Amino acid sequence: MPNVITVSGLSKTYATGHTALNNVSLDIRRGEIFALLGPNGAGKTTLISIICGLVKPTAGSVTVSGFDIVSQYRETRSRIGLVPQELTAEAFESVFATVSFSRGLFGKKPDPAYVEKVIRSLSLWEKRDSRIMTLSGGMKRRVLIAKALAHEPEVLFLDEPSAGVDVELRRDMWRLVRELRDSGVTIILTTHYLEEAEEMADRVGVISRGELILVEEKAALMKTLGKKKLSVELNAPLATIPARLAPFNLTLSDGGGCLTYSYVTTAEGSEGRDHGITALLEALSAEGIAFRDLHTEQSSLEDIFVSLVRRS
Amino acid sequence: MNLQVNLPAIRAIYTYEMNRTRRTIGQSIVSPVLSTSLYFVVFGSAIGSRMSEVGGVPYGAFIVPGLMMLTLLTQSISNAAFAIYFPRFTGTIYELLSAPVSPFEIVAGYVGAAATKSVLLGLIILATAALFVPMEVRHPFWMLTFLVLTAVTFSLFGFIIGIWADGFERLQLIPMLVITPLTFLGGTFYSLDMLPPVWRTVTLFNPVVYLVAGFRWSFFGTADVRVEVSAAMTLAFLIACLLIVRWMFRTGYRLKS
Ligand SMILES: Nc1ncnc2c1ncn2[C@@H]1O[C@H](COP(=O)(O)OP(=O)(O)O)[C@@H](O)[C@H]1O
Ligand SMILES: [Mg+2]
């Protein structure tokens, strides 16, 4: 898949002297859903703001569909839709008027039928003549999404799309995002809700303190870094862990009735010769420890993320 | 690529701003008309009854160009300043900054709308004044030219204030502390001939004098200063404002971090 956005060596130091982005390079593939994951203050909004033209980069460059965001900003910006993190919309305008305004601002001829389609796809049609200030927070978010889609962008940025959003809107939003992706739109979302990246993204980039620490296919990321846990429910509780099992670093819980073993499945699939699952089970049987059940748990992106940030 | 103009964007901004005017029609149109009528009643009738003519022009008619200028200057500035300050204040400016629009297009939309509104106001005031005194316009073409030029120039100036201001008080600061005094002292309600010679010289440093003088000439064919000087001063201020706006967009001044 060709890249739709190429970020090279991007840095941003604000006037305050704070470096919000430090030499970030990143390729976004056309048609993917990319999740930019990081805690508050990591630099997610700064990165998006630079690509969209709201913040000037200190160093580095960005191209969108091969066009430079500074010297060819008309080409790049007309391809991008942005849903900002903050709920900021004209208070006094009607929904229909503000969405039409966005379409014009981005250089498109008026097309009421298309505007209607966008407004309907966000379940806002009943509210089309309402003033924006009379809408609830969730409705305002829908309006912002409609505005961002009004000019038929190729790339859609969603900055913290589910912050303060109810379950229904979240479901609607994810449905819409998938539909957009299916129609060829590239979607980049930022989040610190990790389930969100896990649920939605094709690829995940982890950003922390202005540095992109890792970019991976979500599935590969889960596989490479996903810690797994094997719980062994014993027939008879153990008072202590036998010396022979020490290399496995087991923990005993549930009043001695459950042994837990943490292990990592690496990309090669090997579990470590000396203390893999097979070795553990052999050791258990050699010790004469009987068990009635086994189950495994895979760590969530959240666990992965916490460990990554801690490591960096 | 540099030659292309995002016309839909200019139209979108312009229409949006004109809709805002329509929504706030009372504030936008009624209050300046009302306050002008009051000026007219107080200055035109009360004072005018003791002072019948200025340079052959009835006093009531004489102050009309000054009143129009006063409204034109203050309204152009405050409209354009508010139009660009408000999105900065609420955060909706993000959309403008992320749009494929050039500074020229942004300025054309906002300044165009603010100037349109001022010109309409000026004409409404003229029509209102015509109810009180018979009005003649010797040079209608030049009257409209001065009207439009002044509206555009001071809307541009207001736009600059709107980008510079970092609070609502600052939006009002320049119109109140600079423009209104300069206008009152700029021959709005009197001819410079009426002043003692020393004050006449001091007044010539007031740029508003030139605006009012040129404008008054287009009505009555007589003026305190040469009309060419008047037009040149206005153009010079227009160019200065254009240069400042260009600098603001080049550097992202108070718009982009
Ligand atoms: N305009 C600004 N001026 C100074 N510092 C800023 C500005 N915007 C953001 N920052 C700082 O840059 C860092 C990154 O912010 P941001 O990109 O908003 O992070 P995120 O979106 O990941 O929460 C934060 O420490 C923030 O305080
Ligand atoms: Mg953010």
DSSP notation for chain B? --S---HHHHHHHHHHHHHHHHHTHIIIIIHHHHHHHHHIIIIIIIITTT--EETTEEHHHHHHHHHHHHHHHHHHHHHHHHHHHHHHHHSTHHHHHTSS--HHHHHHHHHHHHHHHHHHHHHHHHHHHHHHS----S-HHHHHHHHHHHHHHHHHHHHHHHHH-SSHHHHHHHIIIIIHHHHHTTTSSS-GGGS-HHHHHHHTT-HHHHHHHHHHHHHHS--SS-HHHHHHHHHHHHHHHHHHHHHHHHHTTTT--
- Cα–Cα dist A64/A77, whole Å: 9
Query: Which chain A residues touch B98 with a CB distance below 8 Å?
Result: 52-54, 77, 80, 82
CB A101 within 8 A of CB B10: no
Residue B44 has a pLDDT of 66
DSSP state string for A281-304: HHHHHHTT--EEEEEEEEPPHHHH
Instruction: Please report the atom of ligand 1 found closest to the CA of residue A44.
Output: 22
By the CB criterion, residues less than 5 angstroms from ion ligand 2 are A 44-45, 85
Q: Please enumerate in sequence order all residues whose Cβ is within 8 A of that of B179, keeping only pairs 6 or more positions apart, or say none.
A: B73, B74, B77, B208
Tens digits of residue pLDDT in B64-105: 898 899 889 988 999 999 999 999 999 999 999 999 999 999
Model pTM above 0.90: no
pLDDT of A275: 60
Contact assignment for B92 to A89 by CB distance below 8 Å = yes
CB within 8 Å: B100 and A55: no
ipTM of model: 0.87
Higher-confidence residue of A111 and A199: namely A111
pLDDT at A97: 95
Place of tokens 């955060």: B91
Tens-place pLDDT, residues A19-41? 999 999 999 999 999 999 988 89
Give the model confidence (pLDDT) of B99-140 as tens digits. 999 999 999 999 999 999 999 999 988 988 888 888 889 999
CA distance A138 to A275: 51
In angstroms, what is the span from residue A44 Cα to ligand 1's centroid? Answer: 8
Domain boundaries, chain B: 7-251
User: Residues A159-165: what's their mean pLDDT?
Assistant: 86
**CB-based pocket (< 6 A), ligand 1:** A 14, 16, 18, 20, 38, 40-46; B 257
Question: What's the pLDDT tens digit per position in A73-92?
Answer: 999 999 999 999 988 877 78
Q: What share of chain A in percent tops pLDDT 90? A: 56
- The pLDDT value recorded for residue B134 is 82
Q: What is the pLDDT of residue B89?
A: 92
Average pLDDT value for residue range A197-211: 90
- Percentage of residues in chain A having pLDDT higher than 70: 91
Q: Specify which of A190-194, B1-5, B149-153, B221-225 reaches the highest per-range mean pLDDT.
A: B149-153
Containing A19, the helix (H) or strand (E) segment is: strand A19-29
CA–CA gap between residue B184 and residue A180 (Å, rounded): 60
* Average pLDDT of chain B, as a whole number: 87
Which CATH architecture is the domain A3-223 placed in?
3-Layer(aba) Sandwich (3.40)
Give the CATH number of domain A226-311: 3.30.70
Query: Average model confidence (pLDDT) for chain A?
Result: 88
Query: Do A3-223 and A226-311 come out as alike in CATH topology?
Result: no
The single-letter code of the amino acid at B142 is W
For range B161-183, the mean pLDDT: 87
Query: Domain map of chain A by residue range?
Result: 3-223, 226-311
Amino acid at A66: G
**Band of pLDDT at residue A269, cut at 50, 70 and 90:** very low
pLDDT at residue A27, as a whole number: 97
